[in-house]
Amino acid sequence: MIYVITSQNTISKVVKLNLCSGCGTCAALCPKKAISMEIDETKGVYIAKIAKEKCTECQVCFAVCPGHGTDYNELNMEIFGRAPENILIGNYLNCYSGNSTNYDIRYNSSSGGLITQTLIFALEEGLIDGAIVTRMKKEKPFEPEPFIARTKEEIIEASGSKYCPVPLNVALEEALKIEGKFAIVGLPCHIDGLRKAEKVNKKIKQKIVLRLGIFCNHSPNFYATKTLLKKLKVEEKDVNKISYRGEGYPGMLKILSTKGKRNLVQSTSWSLIGSYFFYPNRCLCCSNGVCELADISFGDAWLPEMSEEKIGISVLISKTEFGDQLLNKMESKNQIRLNQLDSKKVVQSQEGMLYTKKKKTKAYKYLFGAVPENNNLLESDRIDFMLNLFPCLTVRVFSKPVFRKILHIIPTKVIWLYSAPYYYFMLKKAKRDFKRNNWTS
Ligand SMILES: Cc1cc2nc3c(=O)[nH]c(=O)nc-3n(C[C@H](O)[C@H](O)[C@H](O)COP(=O)(O)OP(=O)(O)OC[C@H]3O[C@@H](n4cnc5c(N)ncnc54)[C@H](O)[C@@H]3O)c2cc1C
């Protein structure tokens, strides 16, 4: 155990050890309203900040914080009534591929538009009164804004992936105050925080009745988008709107300038945003790729047989009875199209991501000092250790502003090529290990 619960265990310790995921759960749950989520300019991520004069060291923040670790065994028993049957994707009832049957929703969302469609359906059926979702701020187009969407239009406005840090769970504070039942759409760190919070504040389970999870490799820090703009020679002050996905599948990153100019970002530039140079430390330490504790989780269908898809398609995992029934009801009302998928296909669609999430060797501890205490990991060997050194060293070095600046002058193709050998060997190892264990075909 790295942590022993003492009177000193507040999230200050988590922040100090660089383990804060910036999810915002502590800020919403703090009984003294002593915590705020602020952007740390050197790291380009949200960090929880405690106002010491208000803090009574009640430790609620530490109890709900997924940053220092999550007991997945315990939460799986509580939520699903059993230990995870598949270490890579956790407990599940069914796996599917699918999409919204509404062309516009499907075309303008990230993958198949299923999250947006599910929220609209839940709202129209009266299952929820609103949903905690994320849009980009109008006055600050680089910053995300978690909010409670109460209409179909607001749900659609929030569709699409935001590849930047999002302190989503701060919106729980409002949801707890107002009348009604809500859904939440979040990354694994958000849903893990929510699940931990359910144990501390029983009201949360009554208010948040539907948890839609997003598969997540990592949430790039704010420098990812800023570096891309530098490479495109677009001034930050001239940016009116950024949307990271949409207009078909897998979609385009679009930058709309105040002068009415529209930049579309192609795949090599796009891979800059997703590269290890912009990984927050805590994202690299994360071990939950497919949002294991959600009711339903959704991802991209990165499968060879779906590579020709041009409008939008997702893979999804139903985890709870409630989630699975909701999907089937939507299908019976022709709101979505679903095709049963073998869980091995879901693993195949996320091989690299799942390898990075589940294979954590001592390389992490050596290079980051502290690591979260998560118990949903795979055993690893010496080759994993060697492979781990690449992302850990890259993230460690490029978390320093001086090294990040070098990226402004290095051509994007070179940046892309830098990681290519690692991806090649990592994917080979992932395929071999997963096949050997019969997790993929
Ligand atoms: C940071 C990030 C990393 C991802 N990594 C992977 C991956 O490794 N593999 C993979 O297969 N898929 C990944 N995805 C998921 C994928 O991009 C789609 O979000 C997913 O397939 C759902 O598609 P959809 O069309 O149903 O969603 P949509 O209908 O477009 O709805 C998306 C919903 O997600 C919410 N949202 C968007 N961004 C965020 C955010 N950062 N935090 C919280 N809520 C958000 C929106 O408010 C909206 O409600 C990632 C998404 C994000 C945001």
Mutate to test the pocket of ligand 1, among 110, 154, 185 (most ligand atoms within 8 A of CB): 110
From residue 214, alpha-carbon distances to 124, 132, 218, 311, 335 in Å are: 22, 13, 11, 19, 20
Q: How far apart are CA 406 and CA 305, in angstroms?
A: 39
The ranges of the chain with pLDDT < 70 are 1-8, 268
| Closest ligand 1 atom number to CA of residue 217 | 8
Q: Is the whole model's pTM more than 0.85, yes or no?
A: yes
Domain 11-64 sits in CATH at: 3.30.70.20
Mutate to test the pocket of ligand 1, among 214, 302, 330, 426 (most ligand atoms within 8 A of CB): 214
Q: How far apart are CA 250 and CA 110, in angstroms?
A: 7
Ligand 1 centroid, distance to 215 Cα (angstroms) = 7
Q: How far apart are CA 112 and CA 420, in angstroms?
A: 28
Ligand 1 centroid, distance to 160 Cα (angstroms) = 6
Q: What is the pLDDT of residue 8?
A: 63
| Closest ligand 1 atom number to CA of residue 315 | 21
Mutate to test the pocket of ligand 1, among 119, 159, 161 (most ligand atoms within 8 A of CB): 161
Tokens of 379: 């055993």
Q: What is the pLDDT of residue 259?
A: 81
| Closest ligand 1 atom number to CA of residue 246 | 30
Count CB neighbours of 140 within 10 A: 10
Q: What is the pLDDT of residue 236?
A: 93
DSSP 347-414: HHHTHHHHHHHH---HHHHHHHS-----S------HHHHHHHHHHHHHHHHHTSHHHHHHTTTS-HHH
Domain residue ranges in the chain: 11-64, 72-219+280-351, 222-270, 355-436
User: Which residues line ligand 1 at a C-beta cut-off of 6 Å?
Assistant: 109-116, 133-134, 158-163, 166, 168, 185-187, 214-217, 219, 298-300, 314, 350, 353
